[in-house]
Amino acid sequence: MPLYKEQQIKLYNSLTGKKEIFKPINEGHVGMYVCGPTVYSNVHLGNVRTFMSFDMVFRYLKHLDYKVRYVRNITDAGHLENDADAGEDKITKKARLEQIEPMEVVQRYTVDFHNVLRTFNFLPPSIEPTATGHIIEQIELISKIIDNGFAYEVNGSVYFDVHKFNETNDYGKLSKRKLDDLIHNTRTLDGQSDKKNPQDFALWKKAEPQHIMRWPSPWSDGFPGWHLECTAMSTKYLGDQFDIHGGGMDLKFPHHECEIAQNEAAIGVSPVNYWMHANMLELNGQRMSKSTGNTVNPDELLSGNNAFFSKAYSPSVIRFFVAQSSYRSVLDLTDDGLLASEKGFYRLMDAVNLIDGLKASATSSIDIRAWKQKCYDAMNDDFNSPILIAHLFEAAKYINQIKEGQATISAEDLNLLKETINSFVFDVLGLENATKSDSGTDKLSGAVDVLIRLRQDARANKDFAMSDKIRDELAEVGIQLKDGKDGTTFSVN
């Protein structure tokens, strides 16, 4: 019998504002969509925290024997500055500043995104579609919305008519905002004169002569609006209605609100049963911001080359730190917090690595089956990883007591303990085994991963001399790089 029949998840639904029993549309199958990155810069730690949360959700659903189709998109066109309908495309702007092609920008930062997630031991999604790969689907979706009377074309651009939609639907139901309040708090902005109302948003934008990324459409040569791509790709691969849609808290409005409106306007149904939002990551109690310098990227955290932290931290320590907070809580990244998490991580790993050496007794002095269910109860309660970790430390204490002869465990319970702790530590939380003596190896791995990414950036920029220099100088100190279809790996000779 599949585990999901024995374990019942309750998850917090942002749409209703309460925890609900999770019941997928099709028994045994889960469709999950998570908004991916706009690939115009290196992925930042706030993104990593969000994707790490949904990686854990994905892992737990798979652990419960659900067949999961996990779709996470790549935004490679259509995302304008400040998430608005005016200004320059973020990718096009980056390409102009660096004097390269937009798709070179996309390639460089998509590679970086994958490398960072691989470093943190993420499972790949089932499907990773791109906005540029689904222009036809987006044009078809716009046509449906126009035909249904919820969009209008002006001078080659197409806008979603929020006021018309709100006459029969509830625009703002996800973010709990009322259209009247939005109208009252909205100023008319330059460059939006084509709109009937400031609250309307772009489905298709006519490209200006200097705009490089453009496609033909019935309305103009142009490009799709940012909100549209997720509606088109999620419904293509998961159906008109699917189970879970996730993303960062900052996407709830307007991005996710607009997704709901687009789907209801085009198809007549609300697309998602359960909306999940991961909260923000702060640095030393303040919002991360490039403009203020209060920011650190994954490479800097892994290498220790930054002004905020006393040392380098391994990917698993960072995963452990993230898992010690609920995905719905604001998480403050501090050196003290990471140091404490590192100690806890190695304490847990030490206990895990003692299991194989434990001797079984005739009876157990602890109820392992009850402990196992407590672990499931924690994850079943809206993926409560902090409570799960508390139960894992209970097991660590028990393991040490058995080793010291202060507690006993039967052979059957010993196997159950080992199976359960390995499942939750490695399969669900996604941690990788290590001991304190491995910390130097972790630092080496982190440093080489940084060099591999620098080499890939050099190759993407056609700086092959620098690429070869990194490879050759690593080889001189006994670190051999190997390029393969799944990326670059290394070995120490």
Q: What is the pTM of this model?
A: 0.87
Does residue 98 have a known ligand-binding role?
no
| Radius of gyration, alpha carbons of the chain | 25
Asked whether the beta carbons of 417 and 375 are under 8 A apart, the reply is no
Strand partners, 157: 154
d(Cα 314, Cα 121) in Å, to the nearest integer? 11
CA atoms lying within 13 Å on the CB side of residue 476:
6
Burial 342-374 (b: 16+ CB within 10 A, else e): bebbbebbebbeebeeeeebeebebebeebbbb
Residues 6+ apart with CB under 8 A from 380: 7, 8, 9, 10
Does residue 230 have a known ligand-binding role?
yes
**For residue 482, which phi and psi values (nearest 5 degrees)?**
-135, 120
pLDDT higher than threshold 70 for residue 486: no
Nearest alpha carbon to residue 230 among 32, 17, 86: 32
pLDDT digits (tens, 9 = 90+) for 193-243: 689 999 999 999 999 988 889 999 999 999 999 999 999 999 999 999 999
pLDDT digits (tens, 9 = 90+) for 103-114: 999 999 999 999
Percent of all residues in the chain with a pLDDT value above 90, rounded to a whole number: 77
pLDDT higher than threshold 70 for residue 317: yes
d(Cα 372, Cα 146) in Å, to the nearest integer? 54
Q: Identify the residue whose tokens are 């790709």.
A: 233
**pLDDT band (50, 70, 90) for residue 169:** very high
Asked whether the beta carbons of 274 and 22 are under 8 A apart, the reply is yes
Q: Identify the residue whose tokens are 């269910």.
A: 373
d(Cα 298, Cα 48) in Å, to the nearest integer? 8
Residue 389 structure tokens: 């970790």
Note the pLDDT of residue 190: 45
d(Cα 172, Cα 166) in Å, to the nearest integer? 9
Helical ranges in 211-256 per DSSP H: 226-238
Nearest alpha carbon to residue 162 among 153, 175, 171, 173: 171
pLDDT average, residue stretch 339-368 = 96
d(Cα 299, Cα 282) in Å, to the nearest integer? 17
Q: In what order do the strands lie in the sheet with 151-154?
A: 151-154, 157-160, 201-206, 222-224
**Domains of the chain from N-terminus onward:** 3-278 (3.40.50.620), 282-427 (1.10.730), 441-492 (no CATH)
> Is the N-terminal amide bond of 254 cis, ω within 30° of 0?
yes
Does residue 258 have a known ligand-binding role?
no
pLDDT average, residue stretch 355-378 = 97
d(Cα 90, Cα 23) in Å, to the nearest integer? 38
**pLDDT band (50, 70, 90) for residue 303:** very high
Strand (E) or helix (H) holding 12: strand 10-13
pLDDT digits (tens, 9 = 90+) for 420-464: 999 999 999 999 998 765 555 556 767 887 888 889 888 888 888
% helix, strand, coil for the chain, step of 5: 50, 15, 35
pLDDT higher than threshold 60 for residue 191: no
**pLDDT band (50, 70, 90) for residue 165:** very high
**CA end-to-end span of the chain, whole Å?**
47
